[in-house]
Structure 1
Amino acid sequence: MATVVGLMRGEFWLWTAVVWSPPSFVPYVQPEPYGTVTIVTLLVAAAIKALFLWLILRAPRPGPLSGRERALRRLLYLAVAYSLILWWPFAVLPDEVAAVVQLIMWGAIDVLLLLVIRWRSRVLRAAAGVMFAIQILVMVEDLLDELDIWEFGWNDVAWWIYIAVCAAATVLTVVGQWRDGRWSRGTLIAGWLSLISFAFDFPIITFFEPPTSAWLASMVVSHVLGLLGVVWNAATAREMPVAAGHPVAASSRRRWGWGHRVALAAVVVLPMVVVIQPEQNARHTFGGGSPDCYSRPSFGDLKPEEREPVFLCLARNRDFGQPPMFPDSLPDQAVLAYGRALCRAKDRTEKEALLRQAGSARAAWGVDDWDLVYVCPEIVAKSQPHLLRSSEQMKADERDHIAEKNARCRDPWPRTKGVVQATANYFLFVDGDPGYVVTDAADHGVMDEDVMGELYKKGNETGLGVTPGTVLVGHVADVSDVCITVKAFRKAPPPRTAGWYSVHEVPITSRSGTLKVPEMDGGEVGAGAPMPNLAIRGKGRYRLRVYVRVTKSEEEEHLVVVFPGRSRKQLALKS
């Protein structure tokens, strides 16, 4: 009925009715109509699937069941329901959940098949046990891969070996069912036919590239052939009770001895033993990449369990093409052990020796305490306690530091009030910052090549780099910060050059109506307090006068005076 409705509604609904899922991938493969081959294949598949559903939904054979047989029947029916329906809700859950369900369900089914089927041959049962164990191993590997713990890294050879193992497991199980005698010929035929899906899916689809219209048809055929295994599982569960005329197996309670328990434990535990590798192997089990360590979180912001993962992340950091601190061949626990040894090292030479021993590609770089604090805070705290602070503590300390620096700066013209004015410490870039700028907003406050070139132009002894909208003011002493006072006046104030090392006056133009000294604003460079707009008359031409001196305490002071003026001359009032 669903197929007829789908045929009447259109290709989308026909595909959904037959395949039982929307054709989400089909428009990307074939945006055009499906074609006659695909339509015919869908109709034939609908008829075959109706037959399969009738076989799957047949009532179970009545009869007594042992505890293991009852458990196997229920699990097989659960596997059938998962293949037909339950996969859909599981598709919206994390992949890890589906991997766990598959491992538990099929692991238990494989173990119970070994115990329930009367194999009548130890060699046959042992061979089936090996095949089942390999299948369980692969499911464990899939789960570990989904959890980002370990990945096998499949290649074509390994994949084909696994397919051969699955086919062999099917063959051995069907042979075991035949030797048991309780399953009908139809069930055995369904088991043998389920091998066709391996023969179709992998050799044909892998080695041949049919045209697009035939590709869609092959997808439908593959889907139908995959149901042969579902029919076989349902028939195996349905015929679980012993048929009339066959001897009843001994009670599971009487046969469940220590030997069976050891065998069951071996089947369940041994695959895990094989998969879980020794600790000394290069496995990154600690999850070093879990925190956002590349932004280097403050030690005080981390929970105790987050600190070592941050060190692992930093130790494997490859930013800007640099080699990591430790090679990837070392497992996480070994990296942590080397980190603690580095904390106990007496000097840089001993640290370099430890890094070379670990195989580090950057042993000569050494390692800093701000990296080691995450593994040995108790040692780092003795020499650098500030590294243990939280980000809030660091911000508070930074605010206190800025306030202290600003407090030491004084207004050199306290009795001459400007229309706007401010006094603050200007923090320079430590490694060779030439100075600071007074700049128009249209110039974005940057030290471009033009203004830098003017500052270092041959014969320029003013210490200023002048361009129309920006003036770069250089410092004369080897300092990392400068006390700066800015004042804006409506007209030119008296020169008052006494007590100053140099006084220069230059033109500056404001195209936007805003002239300012850049502020720190959360950075490391700039004025430590809000700076006023010195263009008090808006857009236009101004004069900028810069006073510079170095105090007896080797601190540098600057006074920047701005007032309206149309002159384009550069004046040296004192030099």
Structure 2
Amino acid sequence: MPKRSSILWAAAILTTVAPDIYFRVAPMWSGAEGGVFFSWVSWGRCTGYEVDSQLQSLLDPVWDFPLLWFGSAPLIALAWGGRLLSERTGRPRLGRILAHSAVTVMIVRHLPSPLLFMLDASADRRCMESWGPLEVTGWGITMDLYYLVPVALVLLAVRTPGPSRRGRLARTGTAVSLAIMIIIGAVADTAAGKVSDSQTLDCAGFGDGVASELDGREKGFLCGIRDGAFGEGVPQLADLPDRELLAYGRHLCELAVRNGGDINAPAVSKVIGEMNSLVGPLTRLCPKVAEVEQERERQRQAENDAFIAAAEKSCAAHPRHRPRIKPVRQVRATMWTEFWHINAWDEGSEGGEVGDMIADLVGSGPGALNIWAADEIGHACVTGEAYRRRPPVETRGWEQVVEVGYETAKGVMVIVDGEGGRLPNLAAGGPGSYRVRVHVRGRKTAQEHIDAPDGTVQLLIMVFPGAEKNPVIYRDYPPRRPRK
């Protein structure tokens, strides 16, 4: 065997075992231990990835054969030995067949993944995400290409001498193709960690975003995660690179679609966990989830409308109050509370301080009024009456009757509830001092029974001019204090 061929065979073996030697020696030099673990999710159906997965699953048992350990160094050594033996026995053709067989095995092992990866990358850049984190994929592709170097060395070692222009062109083309693949892998690896900010994504909608490689759904999803543009944002995911974040979103979308678009399905909710604010951004990325969530919201709205209608119907069924003197105006409304109270403020005094609640029913301060209306969150059937003079005191049929003072510099006392509902202005005499007399029935039932019927709590609020400052309790019972 020519010396040149022996050198090429030896170089092929050294090339295959070099990575294993390095990874065994390098930790001893650096003292580093342990490793880094990655997980990822796939996107859609990508032909290259699907074919590669099936191919690797089929051939994995073959790659565990000892001849293919250490980068297939034993296989190359066996082919080299067969080549030497075949030349000594005068059958060189058999040696070339053994060498070509070893090369074929290595090509089958290391060439499909780079080619299939390039197929996916050229078909749809998002398919690159299916292959996993590009930090890992890029390294794997690079190593596959590296192990084609001993293939070239073996082919050179068994090449029949003689000039061939066509052979040189073919080898040059192969080398250029491999270089291009390595460069593309390196560029993709560099872009893998990109984290687009809200300005780049144009989350504000001013049209000055520069992330042209992303479509509207992708931008909407990233904005919802990082900027809170469609909800609260998801701090747990906000720092992930675009690629990983979009891959995660597509995985959730695919999982949700398999479960009818329902994010509450056990398989989906298990993945989302405590990240409830992820739902809003996900509806921007996944049309099926958006469709299901819109239908769910429609059902919730319908149920809420039915609940409100039932409460209003119950309140309307109560007999109207028949005042003993004629008021300037009398209005009725179903009013909803947040944290027990309905309120009134003079213009410019919104959010002003209210004094102690008298009998836990009504409290007032300069331009401010609080009235208990329901046990925490609920509703009350409210009648408001405005007078120009003091009406007679009525206590019959009421559990509590309490009167307090109210000052308005602007002549405004509009009672509002927690949902934005309001009564007309009850300060009929304009700016000045007023008395507010509050009557309530049904309070005891509402506090003692969590499932009290609609319309249980009834309030009658009489407002009339009066300079008296001190509160007056006309009727009371030992009420249970509201929860705080």
TM-score by length of structure 1 reads: 0.39
